[in-house]
């Protein structure tokens, strides 16, 4: 029922603008309005803070269905979870009430600030500093590759509070867009997901109250990594949706396109391509849903789980599958697939980022190797 209702909404309110959003590189406001009106913009927020209280699997299904028609729009629910999950996992009760409530109501979006110009895969090498000044912290630094920067009101920012301790000297804070000293760089000119702004976030003597620290001092990096265990699954969901959209379009096309006096879908070579695409997609979906179930059990305090392995595996496998499936979809459309008159070239461009962000797939393989299931 959830999938059917989200799909109907996406087909009616989001799909009609997807090509335009990509072509113009503009934020998909229509999608935000539709998702917010139907309480789908941040479904993961617990009911106790005014949210829908969706579990990890329901959140995956929402993101998957939005991504099926517009990958840029799927970053609204996905990044709202990424940005706010550190608060949900480690924040004080006061912090949760203050920031999860407006997010649930649709009054604000949340972004996640971990990467820096010189700290990508080596996130612990960050240089952004937070210095204590009485009842305040003063933040200085630059964060790069921040999804929905400039649109979001709230930002989870990782900063060094003790340079001697490397990862154990990093703390997490909530920074607000309106805080004095916060500014943004120009939007990046990207290959795909052009409707989701990616910008640098500049912190210039940003002075925030001490109670905006998320968790204890020095626990920020651990919170960041714990967050990614859960949210890599949302990137897998995005990859699933993109791949499903490409497969659906290609299936329809090969039944209509005639060559040699019959639909090209009647040729065995084409049928085998579609079979492989569907097989990879279903394998990725099952792995992603299994990871979502583990995420939910961990969130509910269900004891130790091999979530780190499964989150990395789902993200890595689903994104690799999405890249292969969208590339094959372009191939099935031939010359038409290479033009912007058809959606599969957009889907192929959008799929590429799922292999890169929230940890490259090379990093995912390192994570998996270090956390092999027992």
Roughly what angle, to the nearest 10 degrees, separates helices 71-90 and 29-37?
50
State the burial class of residue 372 (Cβ atoms within 10 Å of its Cβ: 0-12, 13-18, 19+). exposed
Catalytic site residue from 64, 116, 200, 358: 358
Q: Judge contact between 237 and 63, C-beta under 8 A.
A: yes
Distance, in Å, from the CA atom of 197 to the CA atom of 167, rounded to the nearest integer, reads 28
- 93 flagged as catalytic: no
Q: Judge contact between 14 and 66, C-beta under 8 A.
A: yes
CA 15 distance to own-chain centroid: 19
Distance, in Å, from the CA atom of 326 to the CA atom of 242, rounded to the nearest integer, reads 8
Distance, in Å, from the CA atom of 287 to the CA atom of 309, rounded to the nearest integer, reads 11
Distance, in Å, from the CA atom of 264 to the CA atom of 132, rounded to the nearest integer, reads 67
Q: Judge contact between 174 and 155, C-beta under 8 A.
A: yes
Residue 135 half-sphere exposure, CB side, CA atoms within 13 Å? 2
Roughly what angle, to the nearest 10 degrees, separates helices 56-69 and 268-299?
140
Q: Strand locations in the chain, DSSP E?
A: 110-113, 129-133, 136-147, 154-160, 170-176, 182-184, 198-209, 213-214, 258-259, 262-263
Distance, in Å, from the CA atom of 78 to the CA atom of 345, rounded to the nearest integer, reads 23
Distance, in Å, from the CA atom of 325 to the CA atom of 354, rounded to the nearest integer, reads 13
Q: Judge contact between 72 and 7, C-beta under 8 A.
A: no
In sequence order, which residues have a C-beta less than 8 Å from that of residue 66 and are 6 or more positions away?
A: 6, 10, 14, 31, 35, 40, 73, 74, 76, 77, 241
Residue 76, both tokens: 């609204």
* Catalytic positions: 358
């Amino acid at each position: 029922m959830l999938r059917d209702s989200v799909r109907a909404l996406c087909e009616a309110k989001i799909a009609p603008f997807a090509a335009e959003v990509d072509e113009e590189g503009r934020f998909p406001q229509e999608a935000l309005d539709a998702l917010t009106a139907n309480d789908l913009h941040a479904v993961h927020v617990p009911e106790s803070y005014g949210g829908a209280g969706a579990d990890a699997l329901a959140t995956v299904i929402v993101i998957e269905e939005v991504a099926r028609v517009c990958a840029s729009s799927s970053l609204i629910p996905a990044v709202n979870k990424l940005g706010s999950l550190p608060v949900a996992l480690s924040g004080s009760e006061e912090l949760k009430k203050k920031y999860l409530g407006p997010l649930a109501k649709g009054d604000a979006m949340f972004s996640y600030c971990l990467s820096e110009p010189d700290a990508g895969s080596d996130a612990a090498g960050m240089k952004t500093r937070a210095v204590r000044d009485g009842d305040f912290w003063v933040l200085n630094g630059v964060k790069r590759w921040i999804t929905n920067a400039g649109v979001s009101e709230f930002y989870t920012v990782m900063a060094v509070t003790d340079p001697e301790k490397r990862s154990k000297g990093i703390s997490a804070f909530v920074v607000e867009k309106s805080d004095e000293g916060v500014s943004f760089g120009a939007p990046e000119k990207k290959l795909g997901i052009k409707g989701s702004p990616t910008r640098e976030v500049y912190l210039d003597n940003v002075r925030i109250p001490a109670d905006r620290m998320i968790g204890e001092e020095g626990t920020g990096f651990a919170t960041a990594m714990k967050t990614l265990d859960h949210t890599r699954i949302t990137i897998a969901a995005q990859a699933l949706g993109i791949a499903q959209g490409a497969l659906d379009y290609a299936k329809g096309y090969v039944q209509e396109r005639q060559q040699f006096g019959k639909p090209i879908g009647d040729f065995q070579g084409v049928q085998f391509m579609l079979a492989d695409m569907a097989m990879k997609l279903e394998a990725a979906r099952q792995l992603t849903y299994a990871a979502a179930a583990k995420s939910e059990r961990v969130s509910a305090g269900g004891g130790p789980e091999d979530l780190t392995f499964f989150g990395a595996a789902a993200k890595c496998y689903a994104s690799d599958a999405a890249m292969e499936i969208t590339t094959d979809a372009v191939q099935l459309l031939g010359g038409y697939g290479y033009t912007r008159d058809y959606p599969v070239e957009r889907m192929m461009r959008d799929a590429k980022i799922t292999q890169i962000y929230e940890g490259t797939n090379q990093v995912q393989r390192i994570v998996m190797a270090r956390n092999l299931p027992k």
